[in-house]
Chains A and B, each alone.
Chain A
Amino acid sequence: MSNQFFGQYLLEKGLLSTQQLLIAIKLQKEANPPLGELAIREGFIDKSAASRINSEQQRTDMRFGELAISLQLMTEQQVSLLFHTQKEIKKFFGEIVVEQGFMTQSSLSEQLETHGALKKLSLDHIDSSIKQHVYCEQITQTLDAIIKNFTRIPKIHVQVSQVEPQQPELLPDHVIISQTAQIPDQVKIGWVMDRPLMKQLATNFLGIDASDNEALYIDATSEFLNIILGNALASNHSGDDQTHLEPPLIELPEDNIQGSYDNGFYLSMSAGQDMFSVFFIYD
């Protein structure tokens, strides 16, 4: 499965129990403290200064270390010492699993190789306008999750066609499916698909003919998007973060939604003979 947290991958393969997974997550957190915690531990700042930096972080895009320097709460030297310490004590999930005796080193290496191969970015080429986009990482992860999940769907091969300068025209046969996520800014991600492609996708996804059942093929297409976005967001989160993803929203061109889809980032993708559009709309 693509974009999967390594611990979850081991759990599903039956190589770790839920208890072992929880222990390993806890130990990994202890071995990878955030910069603020290390700074307090080293006596560079106190808790109230750390809280001040944290609350400033909510309002800016700056990292903890950068803010600490700009607020003159720490020197550059102190921050680089903390980065060094952080690197020294950092432990990978796999290391902890072996240290705890949950797996042998050879079994871990074997699983890391399989998991690594699954995680390898499947986008052979990324358009330069995606690379330059402020949300390049999220867009790339979403496209990666789209391509990887589509490989599970028989007979539909997808690839990125091109970045579109503006929102593609909505036709009467189109259905727009989207979900809102916080990553951490609010973004609406979705796709515009025509019904023949949705019918084919749903039929191949479910393994039963869904083409005559409108509710089922729309539902299957939106659930497929939900899986893709859930997977993409899983690879975009770390540490304590829980994912904030709203359920799918289904809209039709006649719902007069044109205005709400302005000012987004649009890509067209090919799925065999068909095309569909993927969009990212940031607040």
Chain B
Amino acid sequence: MRTYILRRLLYSVAVVAGVLLFVFIITHMLGDPARMMLPLEATDEEVEAFREAMGFNDPLHVQFWRFAKNAIRGDFGDSLWQREPAMGLVLERLPATLLLVAISVFLSLAISIPLGVLAALKPRSSLDRICTVGSLSGVSIPDFWLGLVLILLFAVKLRWFYTSGYGTWKHLVLPVLTLAARPIGRITLIARSSMIDALCQQYVVTARAKGLKERTIVYRHALRNALIPIITLGGWQATRLLAGLTVATETVFAWPGVGLLAIQAIERRDLPLIAADVFIVSLLVTGLNLFLDMLYALCDPRIRFE
């Protein structure tokens, strides 16, 4: 177990190093950071002076070393737009995104698992067909468009919820529904197929032969085993949501999270803020992955001895 944890930790460090390198390449090597950050009317002398002041004229490895050292200390420089440390701005926005993602993932698990199990119990029934086509639709609908349609229906026409903003549960309903649509589809499909898998296993035959009640067989024997891939996918969906799928939803609902911040930073060409945002989100995703890996190792001894 210890070597497993150690290996996972080392691997996470490698991921973070990779992310740092990538963020550096994006912000320092693609295009000209000085021209990007200064207003369009800046003269050549001003650009050159700015470049010298920011250290953009140093050799790339010197720049990268400086960037990495500062990044690890949490210093990405001041945001050009807010004139405040970029890191603080990102951390301020983090809770809103985490709230949105957590509720969406739990909601989708709560809806998908029963649906998937029901569909798996009666394969080829009309309920199963509706579930499958419904899940595929959930996976296929562009989330930002779904958000706009929900706004049109429930905020503009029916006036049940607010079009945008942050604060009460009424603000939360539409963004959560928008964000949960795709995970619901994905998880329902997987829940159904892993449940069908589990119901085909030998231990189910044994349980039937022992004369156990169908309820016991389904919920205690099959579902427990089917849960592993479902939870894996749930965790994976959570990392994907964190890793950028919230961007469009937050933009549509003006939800003050890190996704919206990324878009605002990009619109203002605020490189320190972009770097801080991408780095923090990557750290979170890496941390969540690490946590999920540990969780599997705890639940499934086979993984530990891999």
Please determine whether chains A and B interact with each other in the same assembly. no
Listed in ascending order, the chain B residues whose CB lies under 8 Å from chain A are: none
Listed in ascending order, the chain A residues whose CB lies under 8 Å from chain B are: none
